[in-house]
Every structure is written in structure tokens, then in C-alpha cells.
Structure 1
Amino acid sequence: MSRTPPVPPPGSGTPLAPALYETEIAHTRVTPIRHAVRHRTYMWLVDPDHLPKLPRILRPLARFDPADHFDGDAPTLRAGLDTCLARHGVTGADGSALMLTHARVFGHVFNPLTVYWCHDRAGRPVCVVAEVHNTYGGRHTYVLQPDDRGRAEVPKDFYVSPFLDVTGTYHMRLPRPGDRLDLTVQLRHPDGTRPLTATVRGSRRPASPGTLLAAALRHPWSTAAVSLGIRRHGIHLYLKGLRVRPRTAPTSQEGTP
């Protein structure tokens, strides 16, 4: 087995080599009913300025399309990220960036959560962007200023689950990935309840053609499987008696068709 190369530090002058993470994504609900679901898949860690160059035969397994992120109208992923940062009044994040995401596979992609770690030109962390997509085609970005352990809080203001109101606060832990990926997003309500906790955990692998092919064989059509799994989960919760909450009107940044 090939050795996984180390992640170069931001600002080192070395392009941040792409990597794959074999991941387990878990969603745990504790109120009003208890229910948990786990799904195994794989995700990419890429530098938007240095996207992977795959052999032609493998390109259907991984395409990074700017139309799949932010407002969907930027010419490049980096341009979309820069526009998002400018909209939120962030300055100084003009150094390297890391993007954790699902790539488009056989023409399909669904990204419940894409995370961007943004740095200045000296490699110092400036902010983290959490881009959330729902199954209705909506998109929303949260720009965070995490502490040195990757923790941040932000009010929830985007409709995601049909069984949860747009209330409460997200408590996120989004440390920069290394050999291990370990992210947590927990929703907390003003009454102290914590109805939903989502985690993304995984191990880093080199983004070689062989590693990608092996991951694709273990998790065929991975992004479609994520999308179908979410819908199956929703049907299960509905049959358990959870009430569907009305959808809220999207805000201008959500990119809903």
C-alpha cells in the first residue's frame, strides 16, 4: 500500500495535494423521537486553486463544477469562494484554501455540507465557510470564526430538514483535516434541547487513481447514494409520526432555482 503523503502547511508554497477521506457520516436525533442513521462514503479534500487532474478514463468519477457551489454562476470554484467572502465582509483570506466536498460522479452530485478552510498569504487561518445544501435545491453559506479547536456557533437560518423549524443555534466543530477527519454539527434549541447531531469522520488516503477507483467500487455512485439515503431517512421519520414543518422562503444568497 502506498504511503499517504503528509498535508503541507498553508503558506508553505507547496500546492495542497488532493486527498480522499473514507468517511462515516452519522445523524442522531434525540427529540421528539430517538433515531440514528449512518452512511459510509468518501469525500475529497482539494485546493480550489489546484484541482486534481485525473486520467481521462476516471474523470466521470470526479468532476468539480463551479455551478454546484455558492450562487452557481462563478467561472471557478475559487471565484465563487472569493465572492462569498466579499459578500460577508471577510478580508485577508487571499491565501490558500482547502475544500472538503463530494465531487460530481457520473453527472450527479449532492453535497449536504461542503467546508472551506481559508487562510491569508502567510498561511494563517482567517475563517471557515460551511456551505449547506438541502434536498429542495437550496444553498446557504455560514462564515465562521472558529477558535483554536475549530469550534464556532452560528444561528440556524436555513431550512434543511422538513422536520425541524429554522430556529436554534448550530454548534460546529470543524478542525482542519489531517490524517483524520473529525467534524461535528449539533443543533441546540433555546430550551436546552439538542435535537440533532451530525458527525463526519474518516481517514485520509492519497488521491491516486488506484485509491479513487477502489473507493468508487466500494461506494458506487456515491453522491446518488447520499441523496437517496437522506430521502429514505425522511420517509422513515415521517412514518414514525414526525410532523413536517412548513418551508421558509429562501434568502437571496441561497441559490435556490
Structure 2
Amino acid sequence: MELLYLFCSILSTTFTSLVLSLLLPFRHLFRRVSTASSAEDVGNSIFLYQGTVWHERRLPVHHSFRYNVRYAFIDLDRARRHVPSDHLSGEEARRAAQTNGTVFLLTIPPSVGYEQNPLSVYYCYDVEGSTQTLKKCIAEVTNTPWGERVLFSFNPTSDLVAKPLHVSPFMDMLGNWHMQTNDPGDNLRVVISVQHPELGNYFTASLTAKRVTSLKAGDHAQFFWLMPHKVALWIYWNALKLWWKNVLFIQHPRYQTPMYREETLLRDKNLRCCRSFGCNELNNPHVEARKYDAVAETRDNHHFTWRDAKWPWC
């Protein structure tokens, strides 16, 4: 039944995207004749990035791939009319991060009726005198095809978080996510590596991008055309490759461990209490301990918030 739903969803998305793509030139024309002040306002509150997503799995088999990607970096207070639905508002993000400054959302906006966002990040700033400093980030992770979502805060400099979501049927729920990001300017970088108790540091995903400065505000629809579709295509295509390489297929934990969310909270609490973690026989334990001790000393509660799967995955 779930496979039938997935097939029907793909057909529906294909038809909707085709129709809306045909209407895209008319939408572009309408935006061209809109007021210049509106376009200027969008241009000052939405910044565009273009770059590369890279994944590398080193165990139990080696598998890597990269694809080009485009992101929007949105000021949630100044561009409220242009913020994609189903995301936090600026005020909600500030409350969650306990900050008082600007909040930017890094995300792939919906395009021609379809949205695909494995990872969105909220950059939350604190006002310190006349300047703003990046204080906290909030990760918004959505898994495919279930559409479950988890939000949690993390220290952008370096943080270790207990894995809270079944993001791939070829990864178990053990291990932790080591996360880092910079303060986005002309360049943007997000790196996530998996620290597994048996496989070690066996998986890394990264986003590296540069700010696009020559694009006009009215060209955003063309800039993101079929971008979510391409992300979904890469996800499904590489899942097929992993299956072909005989990587173990792992069922969603809700079928075997219904209390996996509670277990995540316990594992994350243990991480904050333990000063030597991420060590295993495949890594140098002294290097790993030094690497994460500073993280352990500065971390606070990650404030996990889950959203259930959508029908019929629930």
C-alpha cells in the first residue's frame, strides 16, 4: 500500500509540476511588472546561494556522490510574505534559540508545486551593542519519503547531537551527528558527520555554496525551477545504488523500537554528561576525546521537537 501511495505521489507531483512549469513564463512576466519597491524589499531580505552537496559513506561499502544545489537565505522578519509555509517564524525561532536578534532561514523554497528539504537551518543572532553575533542554529531535518520532521538547536561552531530521526533506510539509529556551520557571508558551509559506536566516523555530508549577486528578485522562480525535484531524484537514485551494493536495509524504528524518540533524549543527555565520546577502534581515541571535550563543556539542551509522518506512512 505504501509503495502504491509513493507511485501515485510521484505521478501527481509530475503532473502538477508540468502544468505549473508551463505557467512559469506568465508568472515571471507578472513579477516583472510589479512595483520596484517590492522587488527591492525582496532583494534586501532574501539572499541566494549556489553550490554543491557532497555525501560520502565509507563503511560497510564506499559510496559517494555530489550534486549542484541552490538555497535561499531568508530574513524571517523582513521577508514574511515570502517565507515558505510549514516553517518556524522569526519569533518562534528566537524563542527556541533564546536569542534576541535577526533570524535567517536557509532552505530550498518550493518550486512548481513541490517541496523537498532534507535540511533547513535557522541562523539565530544575538544583538551585542551595535553588532549582531551568530549565537545558535536550529536544524530542521525532514526524512524522505515519510515526511517526518525533527527540530533541534545546536552550537554552530561545533556540536554533537544524538541522531534523532530515521533519515535513511540504510542507516540505523545509533551514532551521533557532529555538526558545524559558519556565519554565512559570501561563502556558506554546513558539515555533518556521523559518529557511530561500531563504524566510527563512517559518513560525512556537506554543503558548500557561494552567494549569487547578479540575480534580480523577479528571477527567483526560474532560479529554483525543479530544484526540489532534483534533490528527490538524487535521494532515490542513490538509495537504489546502495540497495544494489547489498547495504543492509533497515526498517523504520517505529516497527521495532516504538520508544526510539525517548531513547534519543536519553542518549543525548548521556552525551552532555560524558567528556570522552566518539571513540572507537577505528579512530584515534585521544584525538577524538580532545576534539569533543570542548563541545561537551559548552553544550546545553538541544530541545528536540518531532513531527509525525504524514499519511499513509503514519
TM-score by length of 1: 0.76
Q: Distance in 1 between matches of 2:166 and 2:143?
A: 7
**CA separation of 1:16/1:171 partners in 2, compared to 1, >3 Å: closer, same or farther?**
farther
What aligned pairs does 1:141-156 form with structure 2 within 5 A after superposition? Answer: 141-146=151-156, 150-156=157-163
After superposing the two structures, state which structure 1 stretch, 107-116 or 118-127, moved more: 118-127
Once the two structures are superposed, what CA deviation does each residue of 1:216-243 show, in whole Å capped at 9, x if it has no partner? 4xxx411011012101110111111011
For 1:214 and 1:177, the matched residues in 2 are separated by 23
Match in the other structure for 2:117: 111
Question: How far did 1:187 drift?
Answer: 0.5
Q: Secondary structure at the match of 2:243?
A: helix
> Deviations 1:63-93 (Å, cap 9, x if unpaired)?
63332x36xxxxxx2254246x1xxxx43x1
How big is each residue's C-alpha offset from its partner over 1:148-182, in whole Å with a ceiling of 9 and x where there is no partner? Answer: xx222111121111111111111111111111112
1:131 and 2:140 are equivalent in the alignment: yes
Measure the CA separation in 2 of the matches of 1:37 and 1:52: 35
Q: Aligned pair in 2 of structure 1 residues 253, 27: CA closer, same or farther (>3 Å)?
A: same
Indicate yes or no: 2:56 matched with 1:49: no
Secondary structure, aligned partner of 1:166: coil
Does the aligned pair in 2 maintain the 1:18–1:52 contact within 8 Å?
A: no
Task: For residue 126 of structure 1, report the CA deviation from its aligned partner.
Answer: 2.6
Q: Which amino acid aligns with 2:136?
A: C
Alignment partner of 1:253 is 2:272: no
CA contact (8 A) 2:76 2:83 kept: no
Aligned length: 215
Which of 244, 248, 258 is matched with 1:243 structurally? 248
Equivalent residue runs for 1:48-87 within 5 Å: 48-51=76-79, 64-67=83-86, 69=87, 77-82=89-94, 85=96
Aligned with 2:188 (options 181, 186, 189): 181
Q: How big is the shift at 1:193?
A: 1.6
Match of 2:206, SS state, is strand
Displacement over 6 Å in runs of 4+: none
Alpha-carbon contact 2:191-2:204 (below 8 Å) kept: yes
Alignment match of 1:32 (pick from 55, 60, 63): 60
Letter in 2 for 1:98: F
CA-to-aligned-CA distance 1:69-123 (integer Å, 9 cap, x gap): 36xxxxxx2254246x1xxxx43x1211111110011121111111111122332
Give 1:159's aligned residue. 166
AA of the residue aligned to 1:125: L
Distance 1:79 1:107, change over 3 A: farther
Question: Cα offset for 1:201?
Answer: 0.7
Q: Which whole-Å CA distance do the structure 2 matches of 1:52 and 1:129 have between them?
A: 18
1:209 aligned residue:
217
Q: Distance in 2 between matches of 1:176 and 1:198?
A: 18
Segments of 5+ residues of structure 2 without an aligned counterpart are 1-42, 255-259, 262-303
Shift of 1:211: 5.7
Q: Check conservation: 2:116, 2:229, Cα contact below 8 A.
A: yes
Q: Which residue does 1:172 correspond to in 2? A: 179
TM-score normalised per structure 2: 0.63
Q: Does 1:222 align with 2:250?
A: no
Deviation per residue, 1:49-71 (Å, 9 max, x gap) = 12287xxxxxxxxx63332x36x
Contact 1:205-1:211 at 8 Å conserved across structures: no
User: Which of the pair has the greater relative contact order for Cα pairs under 8 Å at 6+ separation?
Assistant: 1
Secondary structure at 1:212's aligned position in 2?
Answer: helix
